[in-house]
Amino acid sequence: MSDDMDGKHGVQSLEIGMGILRAMVNGQRSMMLKDIAAAAEMPPSKAHRYLVSLIRAGLVEQDPLTSRYDLGPFALNIGLVAIDRLDRVRLGLTAIAQLRDEINETTALAVWSDNGPVIVRWERPRRPITVNVVTGTALEILSSASGRVFAAWLQNDAVNRLIGKELKSGAHLPPNLKTRADVDAMLAQVRADGYSAISDYYLVNGVEAVAAPVFNFRNEITMAMLAVGVKGMFDISPGSAVVEGVKRAAADLSLRLGYTGGHSAG
């Protein structure tokens, strides 16, 4: 057999393993072995053997308490590297660094995933007391400024699913968000304002955040730019330097990405 023919055949076991990973990604949640096997169309015993190897490679991890499988740390690293290589994120990195220099606060960039916004990069300000943001952090959609921004402008099935899940749970929700009507009114206000600001961030006490949408050449939201600070040292009132700085930086980045209108970019 020639090298060309051998190359065309590929490695079947690798393709099967990728099929299992694809099934887990499409599942959009941690999964039991039987569910993974069914989605990958193979017997559970066969799926288990591949999962053992995927765990060793860091692509999959298993929760010892629930026995459920989910994507592992190396899979997350692959995703973050792929995101980092996109032009939109490279431009965004420069934008949040410039914004950090302008307002001297922690700034960050979030992109959308099927499980909500994910922080892909952040910039630390030059001041003694700051808020550190962990790269790869997934944010809730109703209790984070960037989550509200994505929910306000994205409005797809994944957003509706997450909103319903968080309303049902009730965890980390502010007292004024009890029903879907409450959420819709809040998101309408975010669209009218062109940004979202949250005081007493509901996952971390004493933290405030401001986020604004970044749109692409399709006039669709593609990222959220945010500033995060310590309550009492961070002015998130309308028209403040922080709010206007985030809105202006997001609008400028939107223009660089080819935004031509259709949504308010702040």
Distance CA 141, CA 143 (A): 6
pLDDT in tens, 162-206: 999 999 987 778 888 899 999 999 999 999 999 999 986 555 677
| Rounded alpha-carbon distances, angstroms, from residue 213 to 34, 73, 77 | 40, 28, 25
What does the mean pLDDT of the chain come to?
A: 86
Q: Distance (Å, rounded) from C-alpha 48 to C-alpha 80?
A: 27
What does the DSSP 8-state code read for residue 101?
A: H
Contact predicate 29/38, CB 8 Å: no
pLDDT digits (tens, 9 = 90+) for 110-136: 999 878 899 988 888 887 666 666 667
- Crossing angle of the two packed helices 33-40 and 12-27, in degrees rounded to 10: 120
Quote the pTM value: 0.65
Domains of the chain: residue spans and CATH: 3-71 (1.10.10.10), 86-256 (3.30.450.40)
